[in-house]
Amino acid sequence: MTAIDIVILSNGPGELATWVRPVVRALAQQLGDRRENVRISLVLSPCPHATGKEAAIARSYPEIDRVQEAEHFWPFLLRGKTAENWDWREKGVVLFLGGDQFFTLILGNRLGYRTVIYAEREARWQRWIDRFAVMNDQVQPQDSRKYAHKFTIVGDLIADVVGDVGNENEEKVEWREAEELIGLLPGSKPAKLMQGVPLCLAIAECIHQVRPQSQFVIPVAPSLDIETLAEFANPQQNPVLKLVNGTPGELKLEENNSIAYLETPSGLRVQLWRRSPAYDLLSQCTLCLTTVGANTAELGSLGIPMIVLLPTQQLDAMRAWDGLPGILANLPLFGSIFAKLINSLVLRQGKLFAWPNIWANSEIVPELVGKLQPQQVAAIVLDWLENPQKLQFIREQLQSVRGQPGAAHHIAQIIIEEIQAQLN
């Protein structure tokens, strides 16, 4: 077999964990003995969700041979040379798994490689891209006569990850006696955590006063340590706590630091879950309170009812927009001004933010926007808990819009087909 390059374009931590990882595993499995002739390179592009640890995470995947960090992306795109001056083989495939689909077109043209895009809801540049691996039949060709042959429905990559998670028996035991477990996902970036942590603690207290059997857990983002997370529950370190009518919490550790939780003044304990990914834990949740982001897609694929919180007490908290808005919102010095302006305009448009709602083009799960009050959100949660049929209806709606598992296997097949097409 002729030596081949597979170049994967990706960007954020969510895409690496839920898109890149299952695909490179499937590629390695399907290539088998031919793997020695195939080099897999990952090129990261800038991402507003990035933590700075993406390259290290990617290098931990044994299937990936080389990684270029996001800080070197623009010089690479403009000049065509990587920071380490990589060589390129004559034949290859560029695979889009996160970022801007336009980059796939540019890089494929520059290297003379075939191009494949994985698309969840929109397939762009259909005239020039060779193949599209799409999540479901809602992603349609612009002209079925010209481009339908390029489209293959492969399923939902996140569903693959969810189904692939190993059994975490020890952690499962901890929650078996919980009549109802509620997940709190306040985000991973400081701007979101400043509002999200104290607000979620306050909501949890309101719920617990009515339903003391409820238990609460925060799956801690892998980019965070628990000490940093706890700072956002400390009124001395988080001035936004009072602004959102939030509840403080103090970090407590037990059993040789193996168990961590935030304890509120009333004595409510919210456990901090440090193992990642936390799909086994989340699958046991009755419902979740979450900020916007890739976590809404993961919860949707798990079929977990959720309430999406977009508090506007601190209007510059949301800076994770794609494209030019995201760049402006994250500029030093002036980023906060741009973020406030952009968020004010976007929120007026009534845009859908949660991925399941975007997939369905309707509000399956509520998106609460405004100066949210803990009692307001808790009232919705209590209504759901007291009326289980409402929760079941949301679960069924979520299951109806998510893609089927098996996407990684099908994408790997498409890549191999494109490799064979160049060799024949």
- Mean pLDDT of each 10-residue bin along the chain, 424 residues long: 91 87 95 92 87 89 96 91 95 96 95 95 94 91 93 90 53 54 91 92 97 95 90 94 94 89 96 86 94 88 93 58 53 59 56 85 91 95 97 94 88 95 82
Give the angle subtended at the CA of 250 by the CAs of 245 and 251, to the nearest 5°: 135
- Those residues whose C-beta lies under 8 Å from the C-beta of residue 387, and which sit 6 or more positions away, are none
Residues 200 and 106 in one domain: no
Q: Do 223 and 263 fall within a single domain?
A: yes
**Cα–Cα distance for residue pair 207/145, rounded to 1 Å:** 55
Question: Residue 53: inside a domain, yes or no?
Answer: yes
Q: Are residues 317 and 416 in the same domain?
A: no
Regarding whether 415 and 389 lie in a shared domain, the answer is no
Against a cut of 0.85, is the pTM above it? no
β-pairing, 259-263 vs 269-273, is: antiparallel
Number of domains in the chain: 2
What single letter denotes the amino acid at residue 257?
Answer: N
In a domain, 180, yes or no: yes
Residue 15 covered by a domain: yes
User: Are residues 392 and 410 part of one domain?
Assistant: no
CB proximity list for 271: less than 8 A, separation 6 or greater: 215, 216, 217, 218, 259, 260, 261
Residue 11 lies in a domain: yes
CB burial class (10 A; 0-12, 13-18, 19+) of residue 87?
A: exposed
Q: Please check whether residue 326 lies inside any domain of the structure.
A: yes
C-alpha 121, offset from chain centre: 15
Q: What's the confidence (pLDDT) of residue 158?
A: 84
The predicted pLDDT at position 387 comes to 96
- Distance from chain centroid for Cα 241: 26
Degrees, nearest 5: CA angle 84-39-122: 95
- Domain residue limits at 73: 4-156+404-423
Q: Determine, yes or no, domain membership for 163.
A: no
Same domain, 235 and 95: no
If asked whether residues 98 and 58 sit together in one domain, one would say yes
Distance between alpha carbon 134 and the CA centroid of its chain, in Å? 17
Pair (55, 142) in one structural domain: yes
- Torsion (CA) 142, 147, 149, 150 in degrees, nearest 10: -90
Angle formed by the axes of helices 157-164 and 294-302, to 10°? 60
CB 108 within 8 A of CB 80: no
In 3-state terms, the chain is what percent helix, strand and coil (to 5)?
A: 45, 20, 35
pLDDT in the model for residue 92: 96
pLDDT at 358: 87
Contact of 277 with 163, CB cutoff 8 Å? no
Q: Are both 338 and 198 inside the same structural domain?
A: yes
Give the SS3 label for residue 407. Answer: helix
DSSP class of 36: G
What residue spans of 140-278 are helical by DSSP H? 144-147, 157-164, 169-175, 190-210, 226-231, 240-243
The answer on 133 and 84 residing in a single domain is yes
At 199, which CATH number? 3.40.50.2000
Residue count of the chain: 424
Residue 162, domain member (yes or no): no
Residue 26, helix vs strand vs coil: helix
Q: Are 200 and 291 in contact (CB under 8 A)?
A: no
**Are residue 396 and residue 408 in the same domain, yes or no?**
no
